[in-house]
Structure 1
Amino acid sequence: MDNEISVVDAKERSRYEAVDSAGNLMGFVDYKLYPEVITFLHAETIPEFRGRGVAGRIAVKSLEDARDAGLRVKPACPFYQEFLAEHPEYEDLTKRKSE
């Protein structure tokens, strides 16, 4: 089913991965984790899964996890830059803690 998308933090590979109910990789975002910052480097949706909201699901999960961990987000990836510009509810994640 198209709606069955699970997003997991594959810490051993430093990336978030979206998989379908059969375990097929649908997309991912590579990241670099620092003590107080997570930098999202490159997001990609596997071609046959494009247009299903995979990248958005990965972004939401990774940004919510960053918020829960108290991390600041640095969006080095163009997709994350655009996603954050379109979703002001995550604006606080890109601000420095002193701002």
Structure 2
Amino acid sequence: METTVTRNEERSRFEITTDDGTIAGFAEYVVRPGVVEFRHTEVDDAFEGHGIGSTLVRAALDEVRASGDRVVPTCPFFKSWIEKHEDYQDLVA
């Protein structure tokens, strides 16, 4: 299954969509100067177990890294994912 992660600034969230345009999940955030706080992540039940959440988190964090900002992972999924991926721990504010 092909997926695409995009930043929906209007809704303050990153969204992951399938190749047919279905939103499979999203990660809500709040932006403060120099920091992006990830507060909530959801993956549609139909897509659980397919790596959708990990793909979403990785893409969102890569975009934050490229912007030079840091992250505050108050969302339990983001926090747990970062703890398991040492190469992203430097992004935590």
TM-score (norm 1): 0.91
**Partners of 2:66 and 2:48 in 1: how far apart?**
28
User: Which amino acid in structure 1 is aligned with residue 30 of structure 2?
Assistant: K
| Structure 1 runs not aligned, ≥5 long | none
Q: How many correspondences in the alignment?
A: 93
Query: 1:91 Cα shift?
Result: 1.1
Q: Which residue of 1 aligns with 2:13?
A: 15
Q: Which entry has the higher C-alpha Rg, 1 or 2?
A: 1
Runs of 4+ with deviation above 2 angstroms: none
**Partners of 2:55 and 2:7 in 1: how far apart?**
12
**Cα deviation digits, residues 40-82 of structure 1 (max 9, x gap):** 0001100101111111011001101111111110000000110
TM-score (norm 2): 0.97
| Structure 2 runs not aligned, ≥5 long | none
Q: Which residue of 2 aligns with 1:51?
A: 49
- Percent identity at matched positions? 34
Query: 1:35 Cα shift?
Result: 1.3
**Partners of 1:8 and 1:31 in 2: how far apart?**
13
